[in-house]
Copies of this chain bind each other. A is one copy, B any other.
Amino acid sequence: MYFSQHDIQQFDDRYRALMINSLSGFKSANLIGTADKDGNENLAIVSSVFHLGANPPLMGMIIRPNSVPRHTLENILQTQFYTINHVNTDIVVSAHQTSARYDKTQSEFDAVKLTSQYLNDFSAPYVQQSRVKIGLALRYTQTLEINKTELVIGEIIDVHIECDSICDDGFVDLEKMGTVAVSGLDSYHSTKPLGRLKYAKPFEPPQFIDLENQQPSD
């Protein structure tokens, strides 16, 4: 099936949004925890968090101009701190519900029955039920003129991960913790391992990393 630029322009808005959101592939599912300067908490699901670099440890995300996470953006700009919390299979329904357009004064933590948690004097709230919790300090924001979305870059300050999920080499086993993936606007997925592949070298055949608890397939 072929769609031209012209076909895509002719789609109705909802159809276009669902289709184009599917085209990037599987996306991360994260809850962004913030509070304003008076301590009013906010929580928003975001599927645009991406890895930007390991040294310094940086994560990026995209915030849409008129979306619910706009409250999130206001809080980040005000306080300079926020948390990223992985959505897992146990909290996927509550996490999705944070995308409803609650008033700014309504805490999504209360509305969707997730618990805010403060750790190590970090000023922004974590999600207690999440198993990978990251505290970030704002480092850079920029409005992307091409479509007025906001690029937000933060540096990782604190990381909390459930025990026994980090391999000896640093790899974090997201599957073991039930972290989910998103596709399109509203579809959630758990994952199954296909295997880890060794660092690739030219003219050497690809090899799976032999992990006791991971049966390579394919």
- Which residues in A have some Cβ–Cβ distance to B below 8 Å? 1-5, 8, 11, 13-30, 47-60, 62, 64, 84, 86-87, 89, 92-94, 96-103, 106, 111, 119-120, 132, 134, 139-140, 144, 146-147, 149, 151, 153, 155-163, 166-167, 169-172, 174-175, 179-181, 183-204, 206, 209, 218
A19 touches B186 (CB 8 A): no
A49 touches B20 (CB 8 A): no
CA distance A44 to B67 in the complex (A): 33
Interface of chain A, main secondary structure: mixed
Residue of A11, A163, A193, A197 with highest tally of chain B CB at under 10 A: A197
The chain B residue sitting closest to A155, CB to CB, is: B5
In the complex, 22 of the A-B residue pairs with CB atoms within 8 angstroms, ordered by the A residue number, are A1-B163, A4-B157, A5-B155, A16-B54, A18-B169, A18-B171, A19-B166, A20-B53, A23-B134, A23-B156, A24-B51, A25-B30, A25-B86, A26-B28, A26-B29, A56-B147, A89-B218, A93-B206, A96-B200, A98-B200, A186-B198, A188-B197
CB distance from A174 to the nearest CB of B (A): 5
